[in-house]
Every structure is written in C-alpha cells, then in structure tokens.
Chains A and B, each alone.
Chain A
Amino acid sequence: MEPILQPEEISPAIELANRVLSQLDRILLGRAELHRLVLAGILSRGHILLEGLPGVGKTALVKTLGDLLGLQFKRVQFTPDLMPSDILGSHILQGDGDGRRAMEFHAGPVFTNLLLADEINRASPKTQSALLEAMQERSVTLLGATRQLPDPFFVLASQNPIELEGTYPLPEAQLDRFLFKLNVGGADVDTLDQIISTRRRGEAPMPEFVVSSGELHQLFAVMDRIYLPKAVSRYISRLVAATHADSPEATEEVKNYVAYGASPRAAIAMAEAARAFALLAGRPTVGFEDVKAVASPVLNHRLVLNYKAKFDGMNASSLIARLLSQLDETGIKLPRDVEIEK
C-alpha cells in the first residue's frame, strides 16, 4: 500500500490549486463555489455540464479555464443541424502526386484537451451521442479506426434549461458521462455592479499566469495519491445504493419519486470528486464532508424521477439533500431515543 501523502508532498499541489482558484475568482466575479467545483471536476479528470440561462457566464468560465490551464481549447457551437462528423472529424478522399487517391482522416474539434460544447442541448440526439465514446473512453472510432484523444481530455458543456424552446434533452447515457452537472445561477447585485463598473463591454481580464502541462500532470499525480478510507468508501457506496427505490437504506422520498437511481459510474465519480475536494481542502485523506460537498452535483443529473416527483414539485437536488441528512455517514445504528451529540 502506498503511504499517504505527507505535508511536504501535498503542499505544492495545494498552493497551485489555490492559485488557479484565486485567478478564476479574480477573472469571473461572484462564482467562488462554482469555480471550486469546476476545478474539482478538472482535477478528477471528469466532464462537466454547466446549465444556466444564456448570458450567465458559462462560456466565459470554460474559456478562462482553458486559458489558465494552458490546454488546447476548442469550442463547438451546437446547433440543430450540426452533424457528428462536424465534431469527430471525417475521412476525405485525397489525391497524391502520383495520381493515387486515398481516404484521409481530418480530425474534428473533439481532438483537443478542452472541448467546449456550447449549448449542447441544441443539437439533435444523434449528434449529442457522437460524444459518447469520446467522453468515456477518450477515443474516437471512425471507419474501424480508433484514435486516442489528447491527454487530458475534458468536455465542458453548457446547456440551456431543457424547458427552453429548440432544445433536446440529453440522453441518460450521455448525462451519466458527465462528472458534474452544475447549475449556473444569476449574479447578485454586488457582483453585477462590480462587473459593470470594472469590465468594459464585459471583457474579462486575462489570467496572470498559465499552468504548465507538467504542473498539471503533477497535480493529477497528487490527486491519485489522495487516500480514500474504507469507511468513506463504504459511505459513498451506501449513498449511491440508497438512490435506488429498492435499497434497504432508501428514504421515503427516494421510494416515492425515483424511477432509476444512480449508476456505479456515479459512485466512481463521487469518489474521485471527493478526492479532489480533499486536495482543495489541503488534506491527504477524504472525509465525509468531501463526499457531502460533491454528492449533489454528482447525483442530480443521474437520478431519473418519476411523474409523481413532477406533480409534487420534487427535484433531484432537494431529494439528494434529504438523503444526505437522513443517511448516517458512519452506519452506526442506535436505538431511536439514543443519539450521539454532534
């Protein structure tokens, strides 16, 4: 078993992560918590789905992140007539000087480190599904040839709320491939005031530094050594299992409102995201609080609620919050009238 990170090993990573965060906070105002989650997603090497109304800063966030991390960044504006080949690339018949012709592969925008899939739910499901293999296996297969995507590879997608006109809900299989779904809300008065007064035409300042590829891989290496204790691992498992209505630990809300619970991929994602949160907190080990911090963004897009939930106004976030409050992290079962004071 690899020994846990010692303070001198983890401190450079923490310092770097905090610098990135401070830059994000400086460039994009009033989104500290969102930045923390996005960075955790990046450290976990996961894909992130940002949901929010137009103009709330989704694209700006992704662009800033790309600039800051020194990663190759490409943006695809998803539209209803966008085709899969527009994303993945296609083979084109090319002639050489000898008069011979051959099919040559022209890589699509997916071959990058950071892909911004802007307004992803405006494309048809066929095009949306083109990203399935890329997101899960970080490769693209065309005409029988599989090509690896650059490392690291992230998809940061933005989508308008699905109730808007001209949108297609993402299929569950694709949703499950996103580590987080983060809701980007509107800015408060102070933030708006600050934006207006400091940003001419809303242009964000450029980052003061760029994270090198080496530094980024060092961060990933530290991430890999963040220790997940067995009790926390057990808690994640119980939490994910409890999202299924037939689980013995499922709450009444889950039994009433959840049609399909979270997948094992959700448990993996939660463990990874919790590790990232522990790192951002400056710890070499994952605690229950890290799991609780990432539980909602990991699970909220993975729970398929039934019609009763819609009727009763129950959404995934409130259901997860209830689940977190009712499921004891330690699994200690004491008689009802005995409790451990917190």
Chain B
Amino acid sequence: MKETSLPPTNSADHDLAIQIFLRRLTTLLTLKTWLMLATLWCFGWGAAALVLRASIATPRKPLLFGAVGFLFAAIAAYLIGRKQLPTQIAVRSMLDRQNDFGGLLMTAGEQPVGMWEPQLASINLPRLRWRSARAWGLLALSVAFTTICLLLPIKYVSVTSGRSLDVGKEAETLTAQIETLKEEQIITETKAEELKEKLDQLSAEAAGEDPAKTWEALDHLANSVEKAAKDAIASAATKQEQMEKAEALAEGLMSGSDQLDAQTMTEAMQTLSTMMQGAMKENEALANQLSPETQEAIKNGSLKPEQLKEIANALNQSKQKLNQQLSKLNQSGLNRGNINPNSLKSGASAQKRDNSGLSKFLKDHAQKMSVADAVNQWTEDGKNGNGKGNGPGQGGVSRGRGDAPMTWTEGSDEANAKFKEKALPPGSVADLQDSQLVGLSASAPEVQKGNLAAHGALNNSATGGGSAYTQTVLPKHKGAVKKYFERK
C-alpha cells in the first residue's frame, strides 16, 4: 500500500483520510482472510473430491461446482475483514501518532482546535505491510492439491481398484485351448504367442469395478480361438469325407477288381487318382505316408492295382490322425456343436465298413453314373445306415433294405393333437429390472469351489475362482445387459 499525503484543512478532511485508510485496511484484511479461507476450502474441496472419487467414483464435472466455494469465501472474508477493522477513534489516534501531532488530531475529533488547525496541514497515511508470501504459498499448494485430486485418473485413486476380477479359471481354459490349437498346428506358434500375450494382459488388467469390459474382452478372445478351431474342424470334416471316399474306392477296387470291366476299372483308377490328388492337396501328411512312386502315379493318373493297398492304408492312418485331432479339440471344449462327437465314432467305424461290395455297385451302376458319383452315393448311403444294406440280406435293422425308399405314412393329425401346457421353471434372474447388483461387497468374498449356476441362461456356466465380481454374462445376453445399464 502506498503512502499518500492529503492536504486536509478541516475535520471533514480528517475524516476522509480516516475513511481512506479504513478502506485500504478493509481491502487488505478481506484479501488476507479470503486467502486463508480459500486455502482451507481448497484443501477441503480436494480432500472431499478425493474421497468421493475414490469411494463412489464420482465424475469430475459435479465436483467442479466446488469452485463456487471461492465466492462464498470472498463474502465471508469481507464480513470477517470488516469485523476486524479498528474503530475510527483508534485509526485517528494512530494517524496522530504516525504524524507526530501530539494529540492535536485526536482532540480535533472531539472538539474544535481553532488556531491549531494549520498544524494539521497534511496527514500522511501510513503504509500497510502484509507479509503475504506464506499465505500465497499455501494457497498455491492447496490449489495444486485440489487440481491433482480432480485430475488424477480414477484408477489411481479408487480404493476399489485393488479388487481385481478373478478370471483365472477362464484364462486357464483359454490357455489350454490355445495350446491345443498350437499342438495340432491349427494356428501358428506366432499366433499362439500373440493370443497368450493378449490373455495375460487381460488377466492382469481385469478390474473389479468394470467386470463387463473384462468379460467382453475374454469373450472376444475366446471367439477368436473358437473360430480357429471351427475352421479347423470344418477343414477336418472335408478332409475326412474326401479320404473316406478315396478309401472306399481303394478298398472296393482291391477286393473286386475282377468284377469290373477294363473301362470301368480304368475310370475307377482315374477317379481314385483325382480323389487322392485332392486329398493330398488338403492334407500334406497324407503324402508323407505314400511312397514316391505311388505319389508319382497319383500325380500322373497311372495307378496300378498293387498300389491300392498302400493307398488304403495311408488313408486309414490319416483318418485316424484326423480323428485324434478332432477328439482333442472336443476334449478341450473347442467343439461347440460344430460336429457331433458321435460322428467321430462313426468316422472310426467307417474304417471297419466293408467296401467289398463297391465293385459290384460300380458294375451295376456303370451305365447310369460315373464312378465318382457312384462312390459318392455308396458313401452317403453308408452314412445313413443304408450302406450295409446294399448287399442281399444285409438290410438295415428297422428300415428294410438299404435301397428301400423311406415312406412317411399315417402321419398324426396335428389339428386334433393335444398339448399340455407346462410352465417352465423361472430363471435365476427373473427380470433384469428386479435384479440386484452382486458385484460390490465390503467383505471378503466367499470361495465356493465348483459352484455352477443352476438355472436359466447361466445353466452349467462356471463361476470364477471366488471374486465377488464373478458373474458370467453370456455373449447373447450382452445386449440385454447393456440396455439395462443404459436405461439406468
């Protein structure tokens, strides 16, 4: 505050000087008090923001309204500052002392001083000194504290961040599946490592306060793995079918080549070469089981009858390997309805199928269809359980002869059918709106080993390893869950 000199000549001027000084003092005291209150408010605001963000994850925007506190602090500071002001008499006496008036100015406030007035020619208003460095420093510190409290990412402040989501069981399953895919060379080693890395990262970042995100990521990863398995299974099915046909033809030709004429035999050998070429193209392992001469003969279409046995054996072994692969995929849970596990048995049983009748079948149908079509029909019928019935006395158990047409007679009258209505048992969560949040718990979660969801959509889905947040949400329910939370 600057020192100023006023030239008063009467008591009104003295009063003016006192008022000016009081105004300056008011400003200073208000500012000082505001600094103190603002500092306290800042610390309080920051601490409250920190607690709210840490405990209930309050967003930043509502917390910013705390800045209004500065305005209230200013009002309070003004009121407090005014209360701290000295009286006019005290200020007058202070000015008297500061200006060495020897009591004249004080007397002038009580009675006229007459001829002494010129001695009060000028009043020097004293300077006000405020050592404010500490106050400003504390304010800066408090503002910094509040800013940090408001800007700090919630994951660093959240007290719930320590509660990680237990996805160990799911991760273990997925790891095993990835390993299986790698062993079976369905995916490359690089791809397997990449998937494992993603899984590890996901397990590490699995956060309790946002389980849906983790589950979605896990689902996505599981889908990737499953897709690879699905493609492999589809490919295996194709290979198996190809090899099954080729095997049937090879075995048929081995056992009954004498029943075929030369033309049919040549055509059959050509067809077998074509089939083998296709199968070898799809299955590189098959080629390794054939001698170079046989491979060359297949390539040139010049197969000889003595090579048929080698081909049949190679096909049989390849089929077995393929079956083993499918069996592994099935055991690791990667075969989710893509192929019926029973079909694997039928595939295994196909190698026991007697293809000795194929030569006769080819001879019988030589004029009607090509060898390839005949083999297709032979193998298709075999799958339907009719193959064995092609021969006399070898009909199906309940459907008559293998070539007997299926008849659908005496069908039930749908109009008169009576259906008994039966209420299905309620799901574990009857209505999502009525459900309760199960993910938050202050106490240590109870570990229930081997606990399986018993009802509804979560039937037989495994829960996690004990985390309070473990709740399996199936991909098909994600939409419903998302809508529910959006509505909230």
What residues make up the interface of A, taking CB atoms closer than 8 Å to B? Answer: 1, 3-4, 6-8, 227-232, 235, 278, 281, 283-290, 329-335, 337-342
Contacts and interface: CB of A to CB of B under 8 A. Distances in A.
A278 B100 CA distance: 12
Contact of A332 (B32, B90, B101, B129): B90
Interface in B87-106: 89-94, 96-98, 100-104, 106
Given A338-B130, A341-B129, A285 B91 contact: no
Given A7-B115, A229-B93, A278-B102, 5 more contacts: A3-B111, A287-B104, A288-B103, A332-B90, A333-B86
B111 A4 contact: yes
A1 B98 CA distance: 27
B97 A284 contact: no
Given A7-B116, A230-B106, A286-B103, A338 B98 contact: no
Contacts of B29: 334-335, 338
The 8 A-B residue pairs whose C-beta atoms are closest, nearest first, are A285-B103, A229-B106, A287-B102, A231-B93, A287-B103, A332-B86, A330-B94, A341-B127
A258 to B, nearest CB: 26
B408 to A, nearest CB: 105
A335 B84 contact: yes
B476 interface: no
Contacts of B128: 338-341
B28 interface: yes
A337 B86 contact: no
A280 B113 CA distance: 19
A341 B24 CA distance: 14
A339 B132 CA distance: 12
Contact of A284 (B94, B106, B116, B134): B116
Contacts of A341: 126-129
A272 to B, nearest CB: 15
Interface residues of B, number: 39
User: Which one of B103, B109, B111, B129 has the highest number of Cβ atoms from chain A below 10 Å of its Cβ?
Assistant: B103
A4 B130 contact: no
Nearest to A337: B131
B32 A335 contact: yes
A3 to B, nearest CB: 7
Interface in B9-48: 25, 28-29, 32
Contact of B129 (A232, A289, A329, A339): A339
A290 B102 contact: yes
B291 to A, nearest CB: 103
Nearest to A227: B107
25 contacts: A4-B113, A227-B107, A228-B103, A230-B106, A231-B90, A232-B93, A232-B103, A283-B102, A285-B107, A286-B102, A287-B96, A287-B100, A289-B100, A330-B90, A332-B91, A334-B29, A335-B84, A337-B132, A337-B135, A338-B28, A338-B128, A340-B126, A340-B129, A341-B129, A342-B98
B110 interface: yes
Contact of B101 (A287, A329, A333, A340): A287
B114 interface: yes
